[in-house]
Structure 1
């Protein structure tokens, strides 16, 4: 593949705790006129991305202190960095890991040990796509600033909403964000007046309400899909929140829909 078309102004941030991998990538990318910066863990990578505003990030998955997934969640929750394309670097070839990385905002994967031609091809592709795909909203976002707590909050909310089906604990959520339970709990209480668990429960119940009204899924199935231990626990929680049982709420919504159709005709 021909890579004679160089991009001398493209700024890349490589985040990897392996000095050998960094050395190889530096040699490769320096030879192709990229402006290169490096970081050695996810936290340092997130901080440098805020400061440097690179055009693309190559992000290792398995790192100490903060892994690549946690760093990606923060980067995508921050208006200053959410537009930056992230290519994950990983030695693992697990389909589930790749799906996780793509679902939280990564645009691609490079499997280690990597081929120089493949790394360059993927970088060039996503730099071009990123330039074409930049929207007015993305440009405006870059001028916004969130405090570290606000970024952590938004990353936590996005994680919760995408994992309602999982039996999450506060410790699980904090770990996936590269934070710790006490810090995350304080941020949620300050900004939402709810504990992390209460916020998670509220999001599950709001989703349950939507599914009861809009789908034919059984109450048991809805309970399972939203991480409740069983239909009984789900029904109790739903009744406490909305003062009506799930089955009664579904009947009310169906009656309302029928009435709306009759009125319209």
Structure 2
């Protein structure tokens, strides 16, 4: 079977748990992992990094995996990169839509990792490893050490205890007994993002849930997720999901 050693894989998924599962498994097989948080980020990373293969979630905010796949597979700069969809939506119709968007294959969530390895090996068999991008240096994530995992989960607990009043970086350093550089290294290794990128994503996901589940005023929601200025909150929410909080609530009411 085709070895996955040193293969450069771009994982495009807005769900932290799925990114971590794939990271832990693929790193054991020597893959070099890179991350994107949504379809637009995935398009930019595909162009810049030129990975050997892309694992793409089909349902993401701002730009769906299907829309991103169409752009990637039609762009001369990236159309040589195979895209495999990863999704919990398993209907034949959904699979067909993914393949029509340009994907070469489809992997169901929750993952069967024997299937993941087999499908990656099949699509990488005839493809020589991509050269490192100019100025790339080291990949965005190195092997995840036990210390990184401990620091990540400890810091995550402090961050998510109350999104309205989260610790500063200095306070996190004292709470975890490490420095900001190691904190960010641990988060990059375990989640593919820095501490505050992770926190921003959690705030946005909690805000999205509150807008869907409650009738709380937008101003109150912004305070609950750590924004003292509702205008800044609205801007951040639109940057993440492509809609203002009020527009999002109208579409999902």
TM-score by length of 1: 0.47
Structure with the greater alpha carbon radius of gyration: 1
Taking CA–CA contacts closer than 8 Å with sequence separation of 6 or more, which of the two structures ends up with the larger relative contact order?
2
TM-score by length of 2: 0.49
Question: Which structure has greater helix proportion?
Answer: 1
